[in-house]
Amino acid sequence: MKTSFERREFPLQHPFTIARGTQETAANVVVRVEDDAGNVGVGGAAPSSHYGETAGTVEAVLPDLLDVVERVDDPHALSRIESEMRTVVNDNPAARAAVSIACHDLAAKRADLPLYRYWGLDPSKTLDTSFTIGIDDPEVMREKTRDAVEAGYDTLKVKLGTDRDEELLSAVREAAPEAAIRVDANEAWSPREAVRNIEWLADCGVEFVEQPVPAENREGLKFVYERAALPIAADESCITASDVPAVADRCDIANLKLMKTGGLREAKRLIHAARAHGLEVMCGCMIESNASIAAAAHLAPLLDYADLDGSLLLAEDDFEGVPMPEGRIDLEAMDRPGTSARET
C-alpha cells in the first residue's frame, strides 16, 4: 500500500457567513491510498476550526494515520483501520475521515462496485440535498435564493442567528414561496429567544430548526425541544454515536457529518444509534470538495434528510462525485466503482 496527501484551497462561489463568522475559501486536504495493483482510493478532509482543526493540523497528523493504513496493509480491513486510527490520534476527526473515505473508496473499487452497493444499500431510497443560503444582506439573500430556485433546488437551508433574523427569513421566503425551508441558527440563540423565534418560523412554513442554542447548554436544548413549535435538529450537540443517548430526549433529528464522526463506519454507527433512540437522521457537511462529499452521498438511502451541498457552494471543485441534478442525489446514475470521486 502506498499513501500520500496534499492541501487544496477551493474558492467559494460567495463568501459563506453563519452565526459564528465568514469563510471565503475552503482549505481541504486530499488523501490517496493505493494498492499494489494500482487502484487508488481518494478521500478529503474539510477541517473545521470550530472543532479545533485546520488544514495544518490535518497535515500534522496524517503521516501517523497513513502509517496505520500501511501497517495494516489490507484495504478491506476498514474496521481495524478506523479503530487503530482512533488509538493513534483520538481528536482530529476530519483527518481520520479523509483516510476512512479513501480506504472505503479503494475497497469498493477493488470489488468493482459503487460504495452503496458494496454496503448493500438501495439506491432508489435516495433523497434531495438542501442548498444553503448563508447570512448576508436581505437583498443578497433574496438574490441567492432566486438563483437557487432557478437552478432547481426546492429544499433550502437558511443560516440565521443575527439581530435581524425575521427580515432575512422573509426575504428568502418571498423569493422561494414554494420551497421547503430549514433553518440553522448555529448555536446563536438563547433558549427563550429560540422558542420565540421558532414560533414565527413555524408561521413561515419552516420545516425544522437546527442547533438553536449553544451545544454546551444541554438544559437549554431540552427547554427549547419541550416548547418548540417545530422539530429540532442537533448538530454541534451531536458529534459521534456516543453523543446520541444524551441528545435523544432533547431533539428530533441527529445531524451527522463525516468531519465530526471521523469516518464512514462511525457515521453508520451514529445512524443506527439515532434510529434505535427514535431519532430521524440528517447528514450534513462542511464546505467540502467531492473528494469527501461523494462518499457521504452513498449514505443517502440510510437518511431522512441530506444537507450535502458542500461541493455545490464551491466556485470550482477539482473533483466530480455523485450526480446531484437539481439537488437530487442520483446514486443510480453512477457509472463507476468506489465513491465516484474523480479528479476533473
Part of the chain binding Mg ion (CB under 5 A), chosen from 28-36, 40-48, 136-144, 176-184: 176-184
Query: Which residue, 286 or 297, has its beta carbon nearer to Mg ion?
Result: 286
Part of the chain binding Mg ion (CB under 5 A), chosen from 7-15, 207-215, 239-247, 296-304: 207-215
H-type alpha helices, 129-190: 138-150, 165-175
Angle at 184 between CA 273 and CA 198, to 5 degrees: 100
Asked whether the beta carbons of 158 and 168 are under 8 A apart, the reply is yes
DSSP for 285-302 reads --S--HHHHHHHHTTGGG
Residues 106-165 that bind Mg ion (CB under 5 A): none
Give the Å distances, CA to CA, from 73 to 80, 156, 211, 218, 261: 11, 43, 40, 42, 23
- The footprint of Mg ion on this chain (CB under 5 A) covers a number of residues equal to 3
Q: Is 100 helix (H, G, I), strand (E, B) or coil?
A: helix
Regarding 184 and contact with Mg ion (CB under 5 A), the answer is yes
Task: Quote the CA–CA distance of 64 and 288 in Å, as a whole number.
Answer: 23
Query: Which residue, 82 or 210, has its beta carbon nearer to Mg ion?
Result: 210
Part of the chain binding Mg ion (CB under 5 A), chosen from 63-71, 187-195, 205-213, 275-283: 205-213
In the complex, the smallest distance separating the C-beta of residue 187 from Mg ion, rounded to whole angstroms, is 9
In the complex, the smallest distance separating the C-beta of residue 160 from Mg ion, rounded to whole angstroms, is 11
Residue showing the smallest CB distance to Mg ion in the complex: 235
In the complex, the smallest distance separating the C-beta of residue 341 from Mg ion, rounded to whole angstroms, is 23
Residues 222-281 that bind Mg ion (CB under 5 A): 235
First to last CA, the chain: 24
Tally the C-alpha atoms within 13 A of residue 232's C-alpha that lie toward its C-beta: 32
Characterise 211 by phi-psi region: left (phi > 0), alpha (psi -120 to 50), beta (else). left
In the complex, the smallest distance separating the C-beta of residue 157 from Mg ion, rounded to whole angstroms, is 8
In the complex, the smallest distance separating the C-beta of residue 314 from Mg ion, rounded to whole angstroms, is 18
In the complex, the smallest distance separating the C-beta of residue 224 from Mg ion, rounded to whole angstroms, is 15
Query: Which residue, 89 or 160, has its beta carbon nearer to Mg ion?
Result: 160
Regarding 187 and contact with Mg ion (CB under 5 A), the answer is no
Residues 39-98 that bind Mg ion (CB under 5 A): none
In the complex, the smallest distance separating the C-beta of residue 19 from Mg ion, rounded to whole angstroms, is 10
Regarding 307 and contact with Mg ion (CB under 5 A), the answer is no
Query: Which residue, 61 or 286, has its beta carbon nearer to Mg ion?
Result: 286
Task: Quote the CA–CA distance of 173 and 146 in Å, as a whole number.
Answer: 10
Query: Which residue, 48 or 126, has its beta carbon nearer to Mg ion?
Result: 48
Task: Quote the CA–CA distance of 234 and 213 in Å, as a whole number.
Answer: 10
Regarding 309 and contact with Mg ion (CB under 5 A), the answer is no
Q: Is 27 helix (H, G, I), strand (E, B) or coil?
A: strand
Residues that bind Mg ion (CB under 5 A): 184, 210, 235
